[in-house]
Structure 1
Amino acid sequence: MDNRPPPPQSLLDSLPESSTGDAREPAPVHLWHPDFSGELDMHIARDGTWYHEGGPISRKSLAQLFSGILRLDEDGRYYLVTPVERWAIRVDDVPFVAVRLEVEGQGREQRLTFFTSLGHSVLAGEMHPITVRVDADTSEPSPYVLLRSNLRALIHRNVFYELADLAVEEQVDGQPRIGVWSDGHFFPIDGSAVTA
């Protein structure tokens, strides 16, 4: 007999109050280790749209709420985690999409702040690096910025074009690389060192 609580109402009911207020503040999911609750019919498309039971979640506040309890575990799977439940969901690529870029300063003093479609923001730097993965079959680049913990945001194509306009050439390990500066760190965006 299956005694697990039904999703998703149970999932919402078990959220602590601290994670139901400001959706932009993630819950301390790294501290929670509930048993596996099962598979939830929910997935995040590559464009950042959240789907539940085949239909898009139209309320941004609800997607923000779920994003605050999202965790990527060592098994490579994404989970929605509360103190009492851990539901696996499907993510097509990564769970977030950076849709806007703000640039302060220039050259090595430049600071790049990314904003996601769910309202998160992050300053690219040592703790939030920019990486580019190049598809081995299509040679198509996929740029990312680390949002929190091990959760990344795909940098939208239009934002990547903005990065390309800011790009300069620097020597990295004795090799010329094309990239951008942010918060005192240089991030290659030519993708020549990373393939998938």
Structure 2
Amino acid sequence: MTDDTKRIEAQLEDIRESLEGRPPLDQWHPELSGEIDIQILRDGTWLYRGEPMKREALVRLFATILRREADGEYYLVTPVEKWHLRVEDAPLIAHSLKVSGKGRDQVLSLTLNTGESLVVGGEHPLQLGSYADGEPRPVVTVLHDVEARLATPAYYELADCVVPAEHDSSMLGVWSDGAFFELGSGD
């Protein structure tokens, strides 16, 4: 860890006690401080200066201050600093899926590689895109336009929940938290 990461961690420690839950990133608008040598790989590994970050607590902390802005780029944001970092794909990974209920009453909960859990729904919508090679890219929006990609096991669990849409039986999707998320045509 270097001065940049230590300084960011110290800033967050100073305000952590005053926060309930995630920091209010939508209220923080500092000027760009520059580039920080952090890269998040497609598999969810965080690298600092080319080496995996060993402190899981630091990765979890940094994930709480991660924001994607209108330019499509990702930033670590504190009240006084904003650092650009590189992200290969979605910065977070949803590694497991829990299903409760059935039909319209079904609720899908995902557990992220940061230890957080979230419910797929209006606040955390699910989308199915694809990579250039046609491979499916299932993602859920976490907060501040940050996405979590469903890991293969979670995606296969999700496939078990797919049903035809009520309004168009050729459209397939899943129910969660009272909302239907279209995943594509069954044709």
| TM-score, structure 2 normalization | 0.90
Which of 169, 176, 179 is equivalent to 1:182? 176
Cα distance in 2, alignment partners of residues 124 and 148 from structure 1:
12
Which of 78, 85, 90 is equivalent to 2:81? 85
Cα distance in 2, alignment partners of residues 20 and 49 from structure 1:
28
Give 1:178 deviation, angstroms: 1.4
User: Unaligned regions of 5+ residues in structure 2, if any?
Assistant: none
Cα distance in 2, alignment partners of residues 88 and 169 from structure 1:
41
Cα distance in 2, alignment partners of residues 21 and 122 from structure 1:
23
Q: Any idea what the Cα deviations from partners look like across 1:27-60, whole Å, max 9, x if unmatched?
A: 1111111111110000111111111011111221
User: Unaligned regions of 5+ residues in structure 1, if any?
Assistant: 1-5
Give 1:21 deviation, angstroms: 9.4
Cα distance in 1, alignment partners of residues 112 and 24 from structure 2:
20
Amino acid across the alignment from 1:9: K
* Correspondence list, 1:76-155, <5 A: 76-135=72-131, 137-155=132-150
Amino acid across the alignment from 2:181: F
Match of 2:161 in 1: 166
Query: RMSD value over aligned CA atoms?
Result: 2.3
Match of 2:63 in 1: 67
Q: Any idea what the Cα deviations from partners look like across 1:70-97, whole Å, max 9, x if unmatched?
A: 1111122111111111111111111110
Q: Any idea what the Cα deviations from partners look like across 1:93-122, whole Å, max 9, x if unmatched?
A: 111100011111111110000010111111
Amino acid across the alignment from 1:44: I
Match of 1:3 in 2: none
**Contact 1:26–1:67 (8 Å) recurs in 2:** no
**Contact 1:109–1:184 (8 Å) recurs in 2:** yes
Q: Any idea what the Cα deviations from partners look like across 1:138-179, whole Å, max 9, x if unmatched?
A: 21110011111311110111111011111111145x462111
Cα distance in 2, alignment partners of residues 9 and 165 from structure 1:
44
1:99 to 1:21, Cα distance in 2 relative to 1, 3 A: farther
Q: Residue 123 of structure 2 aligns to a residue in which SS?
A: coil
Amino acid across the alignment from 2:5: P
1:9 to 1:51, Cα distance in 2 relative to 1, 3 A: same
Cα distance in 2, alignment partners of residues 19 and 100 from structure 1:
28
Q: Residue 11 of structure 1 aligns to a residue in which SS?
A: helix
1:40 to 1:142, Cα distance in 2 relative to 1, 3 A: same
Does residue 9 of structure 1 match 2:3? no
Which of 8, 14, 19 is equivalent to 2:16? 19
Cα distance in 2, alignment partners of residues 44 and 62 from structure 1:
14
**Contact 1:29–1:71 (8 Å) recurs in 2:** yes
Cα distance in 2, alignment partners of residues 191 and 8 from structure 1:
45
Aligned length: 185
Q: Percent identity?
A: 39
Q: Residue 170 of structure 2 aligns to a residue in which SS?
A: strand
| TM-score, structure 1 normalization | 0.86
